[in-house]
Amino acid sequence: MSTQAMPEGTIRTGPILGVMLTGAFIAFLNQTLINIALPQIMAHLHISAVTANWLTTIFMLVNGIVIPITAFLMERFTTRQLYITSMGLFTVGTLICGIAPNFAALLIGRVVQAAGAGVLFPLITNAIFALFPVEKRGAAMGLFGVAINFAPAIGPTLSGWIVQTYSWRVLFFVIFPIGLINLFASFFLVKNVSETSRPKLDVLGVILSTLGFGGILYGFATAGSSGWGSPNVVTMFSIGGVSLLLFIWRQLAVKHPILELRVLRYRMFTLTTIINMIVTMAMFAGMILMPIYMQNVRGFSPFLSGLMLLPGGIVMGIMSPITGRLFDKMGAKWLAIPGLLITVITTYALSRLGTNTSFTYITIIFTIRMFGMAILMMPIFTAALNDLPLALNRHGTALINTFRMVAGAVGMAFFVSIMTNQSAKHTEDILQGRYVYITRETERAVAVNQGAVMGINDAFLIATLLTVVALVLSFFIRNKAVAKGAIAAPDFQEKGVLPLENPQPTYKDRVAQPQSVQNNREETVENILGRLFEDQHTKQEFLQVLSRMVKENTPERAAPEQPFHPQPQDVTQSVSEQEQQAGENEKTGSRYGIPQRHSEVSRNPSNPGREERGKRGCSLSGSASPFSGKSSIFGRKGRGHGGCSLPGSTSPYS
């Protein structure tokens, strides 16, 4: 049993998109608010830094559990059900965090928040691809980019101001009423825009996914602080790695996987996903390293540290819809190349920081860097999903978000580890008199700062090399044009193989295909039939044989069948004359596309069996077969009805 999307004309894309983008904005804003508030939370709840870090770690772990199964959830539940449930969980979790009396309650609130927020990004992406045709998806994804790029940019600034002025609880009380209003509006404005079915849940796959992605993410999250050789880190990597390998094997073996890994056979999808992961790692390098440099090395306040990130977020918010429209016209390749080139140059510039680098220089370089990322992030994400048939989009979205989440965790752990190890190494060299001979505590502090800056520079240098790799890969991106009105391919899971074509229908295309698409299909079949029968005589002989075969398999009628006598047809008859003849047949009561002279035969009182016309089987125009269909699928005007209809000797297409 399946649930169909609402029919064409009942969906208003504006309200749906507006509600969903608002929900996405506050969900992504929430992820960046907590980081600045951790010191105040530690002081208020009397917890250590390691314990407080669980507030961010648990959010990422829950996302790692939820995101891989979002493809199953989107196939099982409607868009409206999933959005209301996810926003409801997120809103309830926000309230729990705001009123939490202790750390345990605050941690539970973060778990509930993450369970709701983890579904939103894949769900909204899938809804956009269902609502908009391929030539408009870039603009729609650009609007989505405003929410996911602008919110994290203003989060640190807003959080720094609130924490310095009010309590950390205000952070959650600001988000809660917005979430509540959005949840209330979703009951009236969000509609179902995708088809659902009742797939069987792969319980073992869910368990392996939880252990695999959870173990890997936890290992990366703790490796930066505990060290890569820590027993806990090694244990979690071992459990996560083995579980992940078993999960991959399981998903390739079961009939209905929760995460379809075979989408990686689409080359452009795989290529752009790899670029996306590299850019995500580089982006997280800036997000984690710049606050450390601004606060620990330069001594700026959390508010000023967040203010440095604000112009970059504004630029990304402005550029996202513009980039989306450019993507619809230019494709991803010629946006990704200049975007990555800007990212390479600015990332290298950030690897030349010093202990007295000006605030203005840092802000300008970081803003230009975010500009480069703004013109490449959404295009490569959209290009990846455009390479897939619409039936696979939910799996592609879940897979990309899973990889991005892992890439973000790897980026944070990897670059923090590089910074920490290199900072310690450079500081030790300085203290040993390799650069400066240390005799006083003040000079020791200077050496520590200098070592920290050099460690941050080393991390940005590694990030530069990664972005160079992404730049080289971007030259292999192909701008693939997709025709409007493409017909959906059959469900690949039912066939057991992936579709070979790249159809891109929206849900409206699936509800009602354009008449031009049907006509084109009919004309194609007619051309094939014409190539099989190069002359009219051979075609008539074939129809005679086929007519006798139909009669032999026809149930007994009240009256004997009349023999089929094909009549010659003027092959020079023009298309306009054929259409005129079809119109005359319709006017004179030839309801099924049979010429009037044959309709008269069917009304002959001596042949009462001719009065009934079936709706199944093949109709041979020119014969009085009881299986005549409603109209010929081979004719220019025909639309198949319950079977095929072959034109006979008196058909305009004989």
How high is the pLDDT of residue 153? 72
Model pLDDT, residue 110: 92
Tokens in use for 412?
A: 């944070």
**What whole-number distance in Å separates Cα of residue 626 and Cα of residue 629?**
9
**Half-sphere exposure at residue 439, Cβ-oriented, CA atoms within 13 angstroms:** 1
The per-residue DSSP string of 389-429 comes to -GGGHHHHHHHHHHHHHHHHHHHHHHHHHHHHHHHHHHHHH
The DSSP secondary-structure symbol of 555 reads: P
Cα(87)–Cα(90) distance, integer angstroms:
5
SS3 99: helix
Q: What is the DSSP letter of 619?
A: E
Digit-coded pLDDT (tens) for 408-450: 878 877 888 888 888 888 888 887 765 555 556 777 777 888 8
In the block, which residue shows the tokens 């208020």? 44
Type and span of the H or E element at 646? strand 645-646
Instruction: Name the burial class of residue 151, with classes exposed (0-12), middle (13-18) and buried (19+) by CB atoms within 10 angstroms of its CB.
Output: buried
Q: What local confidence, expressed as pLDDT, does residue 180 receive?
A: 94
- Predicted confidence (pLDDT) per residue in 199-254, tens digit: 788 888 889 988 998 888 888 877 766 777 888 888 989 999 999 999 999 988 88
DSSP assignment letter at 356: T
Annotated domain spans of the chain? 13-201+258-424+442-474, 204-257, 515-646
* Of 641, 187, 639, 118, the residue nearest 405 (C-alpha): 118
Residue 226 is predicted with a pLDDT of 73
Query: Where does residue 584 fall: left (phi above 0), alpha (psi -120 to 50 degrees), or beta otherwise?
Result: alpha
pTM attached to this predicted model: 0.66
Residue 132 to residues 65, 119, 140, 141: CA-CA distances in angstroms?
29, 20, 8, 10
Angle, in degrees to the nearest 10, between helices 54-66 and 13-45: 150
Tell me the torsion sign for CA atoms 290, 146, 502, 68.
positive
pLDDT of residue 427: 85
pLDDT reported for residue 600: 40
Instruction: Please state the three-class secondary structure of 369-380 as a single string.
Output: HHHHHHCCHHHH
**Position 537: which residue type?**
H
Asked if 66 and 258 count as a contact pair (C-beta separation under 8 A), the reply is no
Which residues of the chain are under the pLDDT cut of 50? 1-9, 481-526, 528, 557-559, 561, 564, 566, 568-572, 574-575, 589-654
Q: What was the pLDDT predicted at 179?
A: 92
pLDDT score for 551? 66
Residues in the chain: 654
Which of the four CATH numbers 1.10.8.10, 1.20.1250.20, 1.10.287.3610, 3.30.450.70 does domain 13-201+258-424+442-474 have? Answer: 1.20.1250.20
Task: Look up tokens 């209003």; give the residue.
Answer: 181
Q: Which of 38, 268, 30 is nearest to 151 (CA)?
A: 30
* Look-up of token digits 């079961």: 254
The secondary structure of 192-203, three-state, reads CCCCECCCCCCH
* Rounded distance between C-alpha atoms, residue 474 and residue 279, angstroms: 11
Query: Of 13, 63, 17, which is closest to residue 406 (Cα–Cα)?
Result: 63
Name the 3-class secondary structure at 24. Answer: helix
Residue 342 is predicted with a pLDDT of 95
Rg (CA), the chain: 32
The sign of the dihedral angle between the CA atoms of 391, 321, 20, 62 is positive
